[in-house]
């Protein structure tokens, strides 16, 4: 039984099979997995059986971990593991409820966004609760050339302060202290991936307007790009099974949770997160090449 990497979509996402359910693999196998991750942007693992220690250890092989704050949503004793869950312990929520119900990449509204996230399904509802993923290399490549030229080298403003109530209507408003901790950020709209060098469209739901354009024009461009990016042709739908884990690259994909009846059913997931870097501006378009040219690119 050897490692296999099986594409699940025509442009991105692959399933990795033939490895231990604990993800305890040797360095040669890990190198193959890492290469598959950078070329396919998203890896799906199935039938896993990982302890929090094993989940953390595997993720750490890709780079330093990011500890999500506030710590109230992290697994007790494991600050590296964030709990994405609607399960309550008495009346205390065990995790962050309704995380990601809307297209985004993790940390896009922060100065240093998260490089990647690795979500592991522990308990699932019988219906609903799929996660959608969209390929931002493909979205960039498919943009009309005049729009590509308009956004290359430009930045857009992401605002937690202005959009918190829009995206998290069920959570308390931000306090003045939280607002100071989450100032607006201005990220490149076209992002150069630090490993592959390929250009992705980097505009998600926290984006609000465009630097150097009149406000209304920038807002309109942002809305156009947000809609363009998530057309069905760029999207893979993950239908979770218990024991699945999905590792996604936040630098070149977006994702969106789909609803389920969270008054009736439980959905309990554990997530590790990789530390990111300040997004690099793509000064020129480097479209992701065809798959047979991928190997060299990711090394
Ligand atoms: C996340 C997230 C989506 C989901 O964990 O970052 O957006 O389907 N989750 O749980
Ligand atoms: Mn998310």
Residue range 200-209: mean pLDDT, rounded:
98
Asked whether 246 lines ligand 1 (CB < 6 A), one says no
Atom of ligand 1 nearest to the CA of 104: 7
Cα angle for residues 175, 177, 178 (degrees, 5° grid): 65
From 85, 99, 128, 235, mutation site for ligand 1 pocket: most ligand atoms within 8 A of C-beta = 99
**Rounded CA gap, 22 and 54, in Å?**
6
Asked whether 157 lines ligand 1 (CB < 6 A), one says no
Asked whether 135 lines ligand 1 (CB < 6 A), one says no
The residue nearest atom 8 of ligand 1, judged by CA position, is 257
User: What's the pLDDT at 146?
Assistant: 98
Looking at the predicted structure, is the pLDDT value of residue 10 above 60?
yes
pTM over 0.85: yes
Mapped to the 3 state alphabet, what secondary structure does the chain carry?
CCCEEEECCCCCCEEEECCCCCCCCCHHHHHHHHHHHHHHCEEEECCCCCCHHHHHHHHHCCCCECCCCCHHHEECCEEEEEEEECCEECCEECCECCCCCCCECCCCCCCCCCCEEEEEEEECCCCCCCEEEEEHHHHHHHCCHHHHHHHCCCEEEECHHHHHHHHCCCCCCCCHHHHHHCCCEEEECEEECCCCCCEEECCCCCEEEECCCCHHHHHHHHHHHHHHHCCHHHEEEECCCCCCEEEEECCCEEEEECCCCCCCCCCEEEEEEECCCCCEECCCCCCCCCHHHHHHHHC
Domain 4-298 has CATH 3.40.50.300: no
Residue range 49-65: mean pLDDT, rounded:
98
Atom of ligand 1 nearest to the CA of 100: 7
Nearest ligand to residue 84 Cα:
1
Looking at the predicted structure, is the pLDDT value of residue 184 above 90?
yes
Looking at the predicted structure, is the pLDDT value of residue 272 above 70?
yes
Domain ranges of the chain: 4-298
Residue range 232-251: mean pLDDT, rounded:
98
User: What's the pLDDT at 1?
Assistant: 67
User: What's the pLDDT at 93?
Assistant: 82
- In the structure, ligand 2 is a single-atom ion and the residues with CB under 5 Å from it are 100, 106
User: What's the pLDDT at 101?
Assistant: 85
CA 216 / ligand 1 centre spacing (Å)? 31
Residue range 71-83: mean pLDDT, rounded:
93
From 119, 121, 273, mutation site for ligand 1 pocket: most ligand atoms within 8 A of C-beta = 119
Please, which residues have CB within 8 angstroms of residue 266's CB and are 6 or more apart in sequence?
85, 86, 87, 123, 125
Query: For the chain, what percent of residues have pLDDT higher than 90?
Result: 88
Looking at the predicted structure, is the pLDDT value of residue 296 above 60?
no
Mean pLDDT of the chain: 95
Burial of 199 (0-12, 13-18, 19+ CB in 10 A): buried
Residue range 27-49: mean pLDDT, rounded:
97
The residue nearest atom 10 of ligand 1, judged by CA position, is 257
User: How far does CA 40 lie from the centroid of its chain?
Assistant: 13
């Amino acid at each position: 039984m050897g490692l296999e990497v099986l594409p699940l979509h025509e442009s991105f996402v692959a399933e990795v099979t033939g490895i231990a359910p604990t993800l305890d693999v040797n360095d040669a196998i890990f190198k193959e997995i890492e290469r598959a991750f950078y070329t396919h942007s998203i890896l799906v693992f199935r039938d896993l059986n990982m302890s929090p220690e094993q989940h953390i250890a595997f993720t750490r092989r890709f780079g330093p971990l990011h500890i999500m704050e506030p710590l109230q949503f992290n697994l007790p004793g494991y600050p590296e593991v964030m709990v994405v869950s609607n399960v309550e312990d008495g009346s205390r929520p065990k995790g962050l409820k309704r995380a990601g119900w809307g297209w985004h990449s993790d940390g896009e509204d922060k100065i240093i966004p998260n490089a990647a996230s690795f979500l592991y399904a522990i308990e699932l509802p019988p219906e609903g609760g799929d996660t959608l993923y969209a390929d931002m290399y493909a979205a960039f490549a498919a943009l009309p050339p005049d729009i590509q030229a308009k956004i290359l080298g430009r930045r857009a403003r992401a605002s937690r302060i202005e959009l918190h109530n829009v995206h998290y209507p069920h959570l308390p408003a931000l306090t003045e202290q939280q607002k100071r901790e989450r100032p607006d950020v201005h990220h490149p709209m076209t992002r150069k991936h630090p490993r592959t060098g390929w250009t992705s469209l980097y505009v998600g739901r926290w984006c609000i307007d465009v630097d150097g354009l009149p406000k209304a024009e920038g807002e309109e461009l942002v809305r156009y790009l947000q809609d363009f990016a998530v057309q069905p042709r760029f999207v893979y739908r993950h239908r979770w099974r218990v024991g699945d884990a999905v590792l996604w690259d936040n630098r070149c994909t977006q994702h969106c949770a789909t609803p389920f009846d969270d008054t009736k059913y439980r959905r309990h997931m554990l997530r590790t997160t990789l530390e990111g870097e300040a997004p690099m501006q793509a000064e020129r378009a480097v479209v992701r090449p065809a798959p047979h040219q991928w190997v060299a690119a990711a090394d």
